[in-house]
A and B are shown apart, each in its own frame.
Chain A
């Protein structure tokens, strides 16, 4: 292989180790007594391990140059993590590789929502185990819909409804006694039906 050959064309994508393409005489393996590790030709250990031969710094520069056209500049005012959290308090995590549907986890810090004492307690009661006390984060896992966009819209809708419901004051004789993953149960003297509670049923 010529010394000035373009390495990013030898390993453009993820590929197994090819001893003929990689010039250095690498050895790998546990040596026999008073011996040396096995050479790279036919060395299964070198093939087994994942390699990053495709990600040399010049190759990464080329990748960045290639998709620079599709991106805009990062907004200069958001130069620190705290500022990002202040202006964009919702965090959305997407997971695509789980049995077909894509999960979206909208997360929001309760302190960022406008809640007074009663509303906050009501919200926590409504969501149950989805609230993490030590980090003060409410996480909603959405995997009902087949499309990512549908999951996202449903998650945002749920958050909105939760927020509004937590502000409304329930009559005295109605309490929320238990939130479970099966459904929310309410003891009621009158038949007072709240459509929200069925949203959080799994």
Chain B
């Protein structure tokens, strides 16, 4: 994510700033480039970079080789609240990334069933089990109070990250 942002910042600098002596005003209004062909793609390297199944597949494989990480009815016809669900998803992913430091083996799967929010995690066995249990209970309680809805965590642990291939 850092590389495209940096590239976007570079392209946003207008050429006029590099030549302050030029007085002609060419008011060209540009927007930052969108870089759609580089989104969510791990660039091929020397063959030593391990990637998970999720990262190995580009966005155009969604619904073909990949499923969805967040399931809710907000995007159906006539249903409201899609934007709110997306904002909640972003917060939840950041929160979980920070709460389980270095333990997340893969992306977080979020499922919403009426009022209930089910968070499915795959964790690497880095922490002691007692610490893990504490963090799970802490997350569930805090998120339930924060979002005013029951939050359930379904955790799976693996010894190491599941590698799909090396790029």
Contact = CB atoms under 8 A, between A and B. Distances in A.
B120 interface: yes
Given A15-B154, A32-B164, A42 B105 contact: yes
Interface in B95-109: 105-107, 109
A99 B114 CA distance: 12
Interface string A34-50: 00001001111101111
Interface in B143-167: 154, 156, 158, 161-162, 164-165
Most buried by B among A19, A30, A44, A99: A44
Interface residues of A, number: 21
A38 B71 contact: no
**Size category of the binding interface on chain B:** 20 to 34
A50 B53 CA distance: 19
B65 interface: yes
B49 to A, nearest CB: 15
Nearest to A37: B53
Given A15-B154, A18-B156, A38-B164, A44 B122 contact: yes
Contacts of B106: 42, 44
A45 B111 CA distance: 13
A16 interface: yes
Contacts of A50: 71, 111
Nearest to B161: A42
Interface string B59-74: 0010001111101000
Given A14-B113, A41-B162, A19 B67 contact: no
A49 B68 CA distance: 8
A32 B165 contact: yes
B156 A19 contact: yes
Contacts of B164: 29, 32, 38
A70 interface: no
A43 B162 contact: yes
A43 B120 CA distance: 12
B80 interface: yes
Contacts of A49: 67
A97 interface: yes
B122 A48 contact: no
B111 to A, nearest CB: 7
Given A32-B165, A44-B53, 13 more contacts: A15-B154, A20-B156, A30-B57, A30-B65, A38-B53, A42-B105, A44-B106, A44-B122, A47-B109, A47-B122, A47-B156, A48-B71, A50-B71
Interface of A: 14-16, 18-20, 29-30, 32, 38, 41-45, 47-50, 97, 99
Interface of B: 52-54, 57, 61, 65-69, 71, 80, 105-107, 109, 111, 113-114, 118, 120, 122, 154, 156, 158, 161-162, 164-165
